[in-house]
Amino acid sequence: MKFLRIPLSLVMLALSTIAFAQTTVQSDAQKSFDKLKTLAGFWEGRVSTIPPEADIEGKTMKATLRVTSMGNAIMHEMTGADRPDDPITMLYLDGDRLLLTHYCDAGNRPRMVGKLSPDGKNAEFEYLDVAGGLQYGHMHHAVFTFVDADHHVEEWTYMKPGDKPVRARFELQRIK
């Protein structure tokens, strides 16, 4: 029986090493979320749209990103273009998924699933589902591009009724 102690000890050591390694490796969702946390702050920049949307084209927009809920969520708020309100977007982890919920001024709440590009320069969000009415359209896609510590680009695709996309591009510079 004594001859089994050493092999058994080695097996137990190997298993504990594997278990420890698995708990210290970050999921892709966690890596994406951590990268998005670096955008916390105040941002400003102009918006361009395809096709051109007269009410916002070329106007200055401000974005605030704030890590909240003890580090478990990121709140994104966009204001400007003389709009009376400011849509809120929440980014958070749900198990091994990075989710985005957009509380839209169209009166609905689309959700998107995100992932970080292999080069770490983009976090892209694909449409998952929506709660609320679709009579005014819905937000359908989003991409955050990390330029440097003081610049990032956000591209949002809004689907108008009849599945007519409007793409808005915000080139943002950190102001605080």
Residue 20 — pLDDT band, cuts 50, 70, 90?
Answer: very low
- Region 143-152: mean pLDDT is 98
- Residue 109, both tokens: 């709440």
Give domain limits for the chain.
27-174
Give the residues across from 14 on adjacent strands: none
Give 27-174's CATH code, choosing from 3.40.50.300, 2.40.128.20, 3.40.1360.10, 1.10.1740.10.
2.40.128.20
Could you read off the pLDDT of 60-73 as tens digits, one per residue?
999 999 999 999 99
Residue 122 has pLDDT above 70, yes or no: yes
- Region 39-65: mean pLDDT is 95
Which pLDDT score, from 0 to 100, does residue 92 have?
98
Which pLDDT score, from 0 to 100, does residue 85 have?
72
Residue 5 — pLDDT band, cuts 50, 70, 90?
Answer: low
Lowest mean pLDDT among 18-27, 52-61, 139-148: 18-27
Which pLDDT score, from 0 to 100, does residue 159 have?
97
* Cβ atoms < 10 Å from Cβ of 167: 15
- Region 77-99: mean pLDDT is 90
The 3-state DSSP class for residue 15 equals helix
Q: How far apart are CA 55 and CA 71, in angstroms?
A: 35
| CA dist list (Å): 95 to 24, 29, 92, 135 | 16, 9, 10, 32
Closest CA to 130 of 159, 152, 154: 159
The answer to pTM > 0.75 is: yes
Closest CA to 156 of 145, 166, 142, 146: 142
